Structure 1
Amino acid sequence: MFSGMLFIFSPLIAGYFVSLSNESLLNKINRYTSNIIYIILSLMGLSLAALDNLGSNLQSILIYTGSFFVIIGLCNLSALPFIDKILPLKTEQTGKPIPLSMMLKDSITLIMVVGSGLIIGILLPINLSWVDTAIEWTLFLLLLFIGIQLRNSGLTLRQILLNKHGMIISVVIILSSWAGGIIAAFILDLPIYQSLAMSSGFGWYSLSGILMGDAYGPVFGGASFMLELLRELVALVSIPLMVRNRPCTAIGYAGATAMDFTLPVIQSSGGVRCVPVAIVSGFILSLVVPFFMLFFVSLGPV
């Protein structure tokens, strides 16, 4: 049951054992990781183009994306406010608001990368039978680099354990997302393990889309990618509106992106006190995404 999980999880584990002190090499790995993500997402677009009945499959992607987004979002936003009530976090407004166009730039770029792969696959008469294999091997390399990044992120286990806000936020996001996944499984008539895998992306759109696509094909890969990307886009808009009165809710809804992509918005809207909370919660969620997603995938039929 777990052999497939261990096989694909091994590059991540191997990367996590690589400790680097060379800042230049770490910067190169960060650039390589970004480039690999672009490559895999373009391959995902090609994989979508290779589907039979592309129109109906795109409709399925939109249905899965919308359903999971609404259900998981409602579950997250129902649970997170209790943290603000029980463990209030002080905020302070610092700096000028970041222009929305600048915040959305990277997200729009990723959508264009997937779209370009889809258009190329539709318009050019090329054999696409090699795409799935290419995605799988490129995924192994990506997981290796992600493992190295997580190991050298600068956060120690002590720093994580001492930040109770960050830990509690991440636990609430995990459990409430799974609750939403179970509800979605019954509504959409999906196996619970598959729905739980789908709900374990926690905002990491690139990796979750890639893992789901590798496990269940381009329809679920595309839906997972769009689900988590939509979560990030909504977080970018809603964080400045929520963070003053409900900072834990705002940080939690950002999911794994709280430690990187949405961190500048959290800092500028909520102040420096929110930064360590966002980094710890985002780090924990980033760390568990591949583990939980691959675990639930491994529960399905071989």
Structure 2
Amino acid sequence: MLSVLFSSLVPILLALVLGWGFGKFAAASLKQKIIRSITYLVWLLLVAIGFQFAEVLANPQIGISVLLHALLYASVLSGVTFLFLYRKTELSKANVAMRSLKDVLSPIKECVIAMLMVVFGIVLYVGFNQKFSTEHLASNLLYILIFFIGVDFSTVQLQSLTKRHFSVPIITILAMVVSAGILSLFTHYSATTLMMVGSGFGWFSLSGSLIATLTNPELGSFALLTDLMREFYAIGLLYLLGQRMPYPVIGICGATSMDSTLLFVKKSCSALEVQIAIFSGFILTLLAPFLIVLFASF
């Protein structure tokens, strides 16, 4: 478990630190070119995510029941997390930000483009599923993007830790526990089983394999799909609400706010909110494997 955690965290942190160091010494023109290229690399990553999602759905061990339960649980997790992190001050911020039709249509347009990239990835899988795999491509692309974010981050003044740095991951964990309790009332899964599945916090590459090893392939598939769908919710909401209601959406990102959804956080949120997202993602990434093992033991 520690080796999985180490091998997942170190490359991400290394890419971020190297990008930050590079940005401190690189010419301003080069940094601008790197920052402008982030959008196009994000699209490529979304295509790879769509391809991976199609690979999961093509697995014969995943039945319609598992798929529907995963969709339901991801929806409940995302909704409860959003409500727990939502504050009335977010509403006034939203009212100030939404002043023109362009303000409304711009994030919707970006969200539609993002979803189209995912659909394109699914289409690619249907046409070329026997020809290649995107697993290594997606990982390498993610590290390049995080390096680029580090370059962009080098222009930002780092701020000290605030209560928000700690409240976002803590409330995200509490929302997971409450969500598991709610869903256990309407499904045949126990609350502890659902807490085990929810403890992936969007980290589908860990949760699916670890839970399948600890329990059975069905629950592993359930966890993988739940975290995948949670990531889709996070990406869509970052485009639509990230600028106006950042903390609830960062909570939905879960552990992925320091890696795969960090790119979208950076695009939609302020410098301080990006730092909080990285901190929250780091804490949840550290806790995820331990919580999964803990709840699997019950």
TM range (shorter): 0.5 to 0.7
Distance 2:127 2:200 in 1: 21
State the Cα deviation string for residues 119-140 of structure 1 (Å, max 9, x = none): 99xxxxxxxxxxxxxxxxxxxx
Query: What letter matches 1:81 in structure 2?
Result: Y
Alignment match, 1:67: 72
| 1:243 and 2:242 aligned | yes
Q: CA deviation at 1:204?
A: 1.0
Residue 171 of structure 1: how far off its partner (Å): 0.5
Quickly say closer, same or farther: Cα 1:211–1:13, change in 2 above 3 A.
closer
The one-letter code of the counterpart of 1:76 is: T
For residue 203 of structure 1, report the CA deviation from its aligned partner. 1.2
1:226-266 Cα shifts (integer Å, max 9, x gaps) = 11111111211111321232121122121111112222222
Q: TM-score, normalised by structure 2?
A: 0.60
CA shift digits 1:259-299 (9 cap, x unpaired)? 12222222222232321111101111111111101111122
Q: Is the 8 Å Cα contact of residues 159 and 272 (structure 2) preserved in structure 1? A: no
Runs of 4 or more, structure 1, over 3 Å off, are 10-19, 44-49, 82-85, 96-117
Query: 1:84 Cα deviation (Å)?
Result: 5.5
Q: Which residue of 2 aligns with 1:78?
A: 83
Alpha-carbon distance change, 108 to 295 in structure 1, aligned in 2, over 3 angstroms: farther
Kindly tell me: are residues 82 and 111 of structure 1, through their superposed partners in 2, closer, same or farther at Cα, counting changes over 3 Å? farther
Q: Which residue of 1 aligns with 2:3?
A: 11
Q: How does 1:251-290 map to 2 (within 5 A)?
A: 251-290=250-289
Q: Give TM-score, length-normalised by structure 1.
A: 0.60
Distance 2:63 2:225 in 1: 12
CA distance in structure 2 between the aligned counterparts of 1:198 and 1:262, rounded to whole angstroms:
20
Aligned ranges 1:201-216 → 2 under 5 Å: 201-216=200-215
Matches of 2:126 and 2:165, distance apart in 1: 32
**Distance verdict in 2 for CA 1:264–1:167, change over 3 Å:** same
CA distance, structure 1, for counterparts of residue 123 and residue 287 of structure 2: 25
Q: Counterparts of 2:296 and 2:126 in 1: how far apart (Å)? A: 23
Q: Distance in 2 between matches of 1:160 and 1:197?
A: 34
Change (3 A) 1:228 1:112: farther
Q: Is the CA contact (8 Å cut-off) linking 2:164 and 2:276 kept in structure 1? A: yes
Alignment check: 8 A CA contact 1:239 1:265 kept: yes
The Cα RMSD (Å) is 4.5
Taking structure 1 as reference, are residues 11 and 218 closer, same or farther at Cα in structure 2, changes over 3 Å only?
Answer: same
| Change over 3 Å in CA distance of 1:64–1:81 after alignment to 2 | same
- Judge conservation of contact 2:257–2:278 (CA < 8 Å) in 1: yes
Q: Distance in 2 between matches of 1:173 and 1:184?
A: 16
- The equivalences for 1:117-196 within 5 A come to 162-196=161-195
Q: Residue 212 of structure 1 aligns to a residue in which SS?
A: helix
- The letter of the residue matching 1:177 is M
Unmatched 5+ residue regions in structure 2?
Answer: 20-48, 98-102, 132-149, 151-157
Whether the 8 Å contact between 1:266 and 1:275 is mirrored in structure 2 is: yes
Distance in 1, matches of 2:297 and 2:287, equals: 15
8 Å contact from structure 1 (residues 259, 283) kept in 2: yes
Distance in 2 between residues matched to 1:259 and 1:83, nearest whole Å: 26
Q: Distance in 2 between matches of 1:276 and 1:231?
A: 21
What is the CA distance between 1:218 and its match in structure 2?
Answer: 2.2
Matches within 5 A, 1:224-239: 224-239=223-238
Aligned AA (1:235): A
Distance in structure 2 (CA, Å) of the matches to 1:260 and 1:107? 21
Contact 2:78 2:233 (C-alpha < 8 Å) held by counterparts? no
| Secondary structure, counterpart of 1:190 in structure 2 | coil
Structure 1's 271 and 61: CA in aligned 2 closer, same or farther, altered over 3 A?
A: same
Distance 2:88 2:292 in 1: 25
Letter in 1 for 2:67: L
Judged with a 3 Å threshold, the aligned counterparts in structure 2 of structure 1 residues 103 and 187 are, in CA distance, closer, same or farther, namely: closer
Matched positions, count: 231
Which residue of 1 is the match for residue 28 of structure 2? none
CA contact (8 A) 1:45 1:116 kept: no
Q: Against the structure 1 CA distance between its residues 66 and 47, is the aligned structure 2 distance closer, same or farther, given a 3 Å change threshold?
A: closer
Which blocks of at least 5 consecutive residues in structure 1 are unaligned?
A: 1-8, 28-37, 52-56, 121-152, 154-158
Contact 1:173–1:252 under 8 Å retained in 2: yes
